[in-house]
Amino acid sequence: MSTFHATVTPPWDERAWRDVARAAWRAGIAPDQLTWDGDGQASLLAGVDVLAQAPVRLAPHVPPDFLALAGSVLCHRDAQRHGLLYRLLWRIASGERALLERETDADVRRAGELAKAVGRDSHKMKAFVRFREVPGERDAFVAWFEPEHFIVDRVAPFFARRFAGMRWAILTPYRSAFWDGSALGFGGGATRGDAPADDAQDALWRTYYANIFNPARLNPRMMTQEMPQKYWKNLPEARLLPTLLAEAGARVQAMADREAEAPRRRIPERVVEPLPRAEGLPALRAAARECRRCELWQPATQTVFGEGPSSARIMIVGEQPGDAEDLSGRPFVGPAGQLFDRALATHGIDRARLYLTNAVKHFRFEQRGKRRLHRNPAVSHMQACRPWLEREIATVKPRIIVCLGATAARAVFGAGFKLMEQRATWMRLDDGTRAFATVHPSWVLRQASGEARDTAYQSFVDDLALLAELADAAQDASS
């Protein structure tokens, strides 16, 4: 019996494996005739290169489930995985169409185990990568991570979406991923010394972690399950763990003593950190990136601060960033922002001359599967974020403010503002600034398509006519 050998380069690449597996199938090479190079030792393999064989039959047909499974399994470090997948492919293409549903089958079970391990490792990478700022470079970050499996290509797009607004690199021993703000690239492996050791954000992170650490909820077994010790060396907060764990018992006792002394408050007192003393829009924007005044910063990707010329005479205040804004770091770039642009254009108003911001600077959402559904910010979020808006207004000093939606209107005019009764009505703020409110463009998009939405859009455009009346004069004053 002839023997053949196959090499997949790089060994985790789905397309490379598919090309080789398809060629082997088409040449009629059975799984037991084929030796796979699982870890780059091709020259040691005996037999004929499978890619040199002439096809004798058509390409195999396999269900999409198999391809998804193969994509995961290939990222595992198990040297037998290429052969395992080829056996599965051979059996499915030979007629066992429902093979993947047979969980008791040894090959199917093994493939499932490998895919699960890759899934777990990917989850750990998403949770435990910590970026550190590159000294001397603005907005450039590097992280060091040691994955168990070949998962960098698989997980890097997640970081590209999540940290779209910054330049970063993730270095690992076998592969590196780079994001320059617009494109993802990959390179060779690195060493831990290639990444910055520590930065100011580590100290910030440790302070935060020490403050939120609740010794009464301590469950070391769960903790080490969720945060295995092998990742600790790359986590800034992990340095605190031995001390926090050692002190946990005494801290719980102290908490119990304190609770026995003081009557329990029905509403816990909220400690809100003061705003830093930043002057000018760039400094304010940088300071807002670190804001922790409410919990919205945590699941969101980044702070979405206002943008536009500091000399703008018209300020637009929206509600909060949406999904697209959260990912890009810029306000009014999603579907609602595009509708707003269209409405502005009907009045000949140049968006580039407006200052655009939101009442709340972090995206509030609910995760449903892969989707992030918008949730209205609570009054407490609006109040916590209001000082940022006040600073923007004090810095830009607009002559006109337009509030889009009820949250923005309440942030500017106060809690008693009734949007649908008071929309499109000029008002004067205490400092003399003229302002009015209208609906948020996302409200227009939420109307049923057809006549209802057309009517909502037209009324929104009509409201903005109010702005058009004064925009020319105000824009001229800013030029």
Q: Name beta bridge partners: 435.
A: 401, 427
Work out how close the CB of 215 gets to ligand SF4 at its nearest, in angstroms, rounded to a whole number. 25
Which H or E run includes 169? strand 167-171
CB of 374 vs ligand SF4, minimal distance in Å: 14
Name the residue nearer to ligand SF4 (CB basis): 220 or 276.
Answer: 276
Nearest approach, Cβ of 23 to ligand SF4 (angstroms)? 54
- Give the position of tokens 């719980």: 252
Burial class (CB in 10 A: 0-12, 13-18, 19+), 464: buried
Select 374 or 434, whichever has its Cβ closest to ligand SF4: 374
Indicate the residue among 76 and 361 with the shorter CB distance to ligand SF4: 361
Q: To the nearest whole angstrom, how small is the minimum distance from the Cβ of residue 208 to ligand SF4?
A: 12
3-class secondary structure for 378-438? CHHHHHHHHHHHHHHHHHHCCCEEEEECHHHHHHHHCCCCCHHHHCCCCEECCCCCEEEEE
Q: How far apart are CA 210 and CA 124, in angstroms?
A: 21
Contact by Cβ (8 Å): 186, 205:
no
We find the least distance from the C-beta atom of residue 411 to ligand SF4, in angstroms, to be 11
**What are phi and psi for residue 292, nearest 5 degrees?**
-130, 30
The residue assigned the tokens 């400094």 is: 283
Q: Which is nearer to ligand SF4, 27 or 359 (CB)?
A: 359
Residue nearer to ligand SF4 on the CB measure, 18 or 381: 381
Residues that bind ligand SF4 (CB under 6 A): 288, 291-294, 296-297, 303, 360-362, 381, 384-385, 388
Tokens of 457: 């859009």
* Cβ atoms of 413 and 424 closer than 8 Å: no
Q: Which is nearer to ligand SF4, 293 or 440 (CB)?
A: 293
Separation between Cα atoms, residue 64 and residue 324, nearest integer Å: 29
Residue 275 beta carbon to ligand SF4: minimum distance, rounded to whole angstroms = 9
- Considering the complex, what minimum distance in angstroms separates the CB of residue 468 from ligand SF4? 31
Taking the least distance from each CB to ligand SF4, the nearer of 7 and 320 is: 320
Q: Which helix (H) or strand (E) holds 323?
A: helix 323-328
